[in-house]
Copies of this chain bind each other. A is one copy, B any other.
């Protein structure tokens, strides 16, 4: 039986985060000592390691919830699993595309700035006027 601190350390998680995952239903409510402290077993360790690894790969908690549900049915086709992973891949690719456009614009405006006064700063000029940009940069950060 593991304490929450040991479980957290073994999976590279913060203690509060473990409690948070329990709160949102990703981890089951564990056994408690008489005094009310949580005690975990190996299945909790595996489950939490899975969650953390999926998070590192960018899956949302909602997607992870689905993946965990699916992995409880070993005989089913894995097409839903692969669909979720494929969706995640697409999201990553969209973000890369956007960020590469941003990199280009930022590199360009910095390269064009003479480093003189604020009044002449090319960076500020571009920020004031999107017409000075080469790309659209649609929504959000």
Using CB atoms and an 8 Å cutoff, list the residues of chain A in contact with chain B: 46, 49-50, 53-58, 60, 67, 70-71, 73-79, 81-82, 85-86, 88-89, 92-93, 95-96, 99-100, 102-103, 105-107, 109-110, 113, 115-121, 123-124, 127-130, 137-141
Q: Is the interface of A mostly helix, strand, loop or mixed?
A: helix
Cβ-neighbour of A103 out of B76, B96, B118, B120 (below 8 A): B96
Interface contact B103-A85, CB-CB below 8 Å = no
Choose among B75, B107, B138 the residue that contacts A119 (Cβ–Cβ < 8 A).
Answer: B75
- Do B49 and A118 have beta carbons less than 8 Å apart? no
The one of B53, B78, B113, B138 in contact with A117, judged by C-beta atoms closer than 8 angstroms, is B78
